[in-house]
Amino acid sequence: MRWIVGRRRRQAWFAPLSLLLALAVSPARGAEPEAAPEPPLPIRFVVVTTFDTGDDTGAPGEFSTWVVNYPLPVVIPFPQGYHHLRYNPDKQVLGIETGEGPTRMAASITALANDRRFDLSHAYWILAGIGGIDPNAGPAGSASWAEYVADGDLAYEIDAREIPGDWSSGYVPLGRSAPYQNPPPPADSTNGDNLFHLNAGLVRWAFQFDHAHVTLPDTARLQALRAHFSAYPKTQSPPLILKGDTLAAGTFWIGDRLNAWAENWVRYWSHGMAVFTMSAEEDAGYMQALTFLAQNHAIDIDRVLDLRAASDYTTPGPGQTPAQLLAQDAAGGGLSAFDESLQNVYLAGSAVVNEIVDHWDEYGSRTPSAPGP
């Protein structure tokens, strides 16, 4: 991956000494302060990532891509979470690496929102991660803004070798006794259920802004990857800015049958309103934590965004079985869009982050929105 390093990275960064000392020694919630507490840092945007591949500035990962390129120069201790935080004092943008999986995500987000060092009451949030794309939805390398996040973990499950012959899946919705049994559970729930609905106007605005201002680069590797998936018409273009929905499950799944389950599961829980586009692990934990926090007025749920860029497909290519794809991935081989997805989730995400933080006089008091179709 070629890191997107501009002139700003070469500047020297000097935060005020009082700020750095406050960040280093100010206690998190529950600790006894040794001196009068500093006023909380106002945060305009929280960038949420899930993993890294080295230290913060080493090999490219979700977190280090933002640390290096945005940049996020100030290190803030965060012992109650998975990893220390990073901060840009000029932009008032805070970065967090939560760790992989829904439990780490939910715990890290809750710990951050309850940290009295930060004022998150007006902050926007973006989960900027990579994932798998349904080859029926678009090409690898694409970046997709989700309006809906479906939870693929909360369910009944019967082993596929023991399901009735007329069942298409071993997954059964809670409260039902067969896959996709009607009527579907209610699509809206105050506390979150198997479906989370983000602020549709903000999601449309972010998608339309990126569509007008961001072009995702094509590469020889992406061209080779989509040639391998030529049986799927929607994969046969350079990477795109998409608006499509996410299925989040802690288990990393692959294969045609599970892909069909994902498409049907998202459609079922949303009453036909959502279209499965991206697979991921952490997004339901992210949305559940923020939903609860919003009920306590700790964050503004209408300012939450979810963005995933496609590092690979959710099904193997023609002539390959899911087991063969798994063995190939475990060995570190195979063709993927890993580097491109890290770059593209940053390109798409940072464009929206910058538009909002650089025009805070407008967006600090008014959440942007675009009308529906």
Phi/psi of residue 148, each to 5°?
Answer: -120, 140
C-beta atoms surrounding 334 within 10 Å: 16
Give phi and psi for 242, each to the nearest 5: -120, 160
Nearest 5°: phi and psi at 318?
Answer: -55, 135
Q: What is the model's pLDDT at position 54?
A: 82
Segment holding 287, helix H or strand E: helix 283-295
- Whether 31 is in a domain gets the answer no
CA angle 72, 75, 77 (to 5 degrees): 140
Question: Which pLDDT score is estimated for 14?
Answer: 35
Is 121 within the bounds of a domain? yes
Q: Is residue 74 within 8 Å of 23, Cβ to Cβ? A: yes
* DSSP assignment of 30-64: TSPPSSPPPPPEE-SEEEEE---SSSTTSS--HHH
Burial class (CB in 10 A: 0-12, 13-18, 19+), 114: middle
Cβ neighbours of residue 215 closer than 8 Å, sequence gap 6 or more: none
Q: Is 3 a member of any domain? A: no
- Tens digits of residue pLDDT in 170-201: 999 988 999 999 998 886 554 557 999 999 99
Low-confidence ranges of the chain (pLDDT < 50): 1-18, 20-22, 24-29, 190
8 A C-beta contact, residue 44 and residue 56: no
Q: Residue 293: give its domain's CATH number.
A: 3.40.50.1580
Which among 332, 329, 337 has a CA at the least distance from the CA of 311?
A: 337
Query: Tell me, what's the pLDDT at 59?
Result: 85
**pLDDT at site 19:** 52
Per DSSP, 238 falls in state S
**pLDDT number for residue 55:** 86
Domain residues for the domain of 158 are 39-363
- 373, 268 Cβ separation under 8 angstroms: no
Number of domains in the chain: 1
**Residue (of 342, 333, 295, 352) closest to 110 by Cα position:** 295
- State the DSSP code for 229: T
Query: Within 13 Å of residue 63, how many CA atoms lie on the same side as its CB?
Result: 26
Domain assignment present for 34: no
Contacts of 151 (CB under 8 A, 6+ apart): 193, 194, 195, 196, 248, 249, 284, 288
251: in domain: yes
Query: Are the C-beta atoms of residues 286 and 308 closer than 8 Å to each other?
Result: no
CB 281 within 8 A of CB 249: yes
Closest to 163 (Cα-Cα) out of 261, 66, 245: 261
Give the pLDDT score at 193. Answer: 75
- Residue 30 in domain: no
- Bridge partners of 149, per DSSP, are 196, 246
Per-residue pLDDT tens for 46-57? 999 999 988 898
The tokens for 3 are: 């890191």
Which residues are bridge partners to 196 per DSSP? 149
- Residue 222 maps to a domain: yes
Any idea which residue has 């802690």 for tokens? 250
The encoded tokens of residue 256 equal: 């045609």
Q: What's the pLDDT at 188? A: 59
298 occurs within a structural domain: yes
How confident is the model at residue 58, as a pLDDT?
83
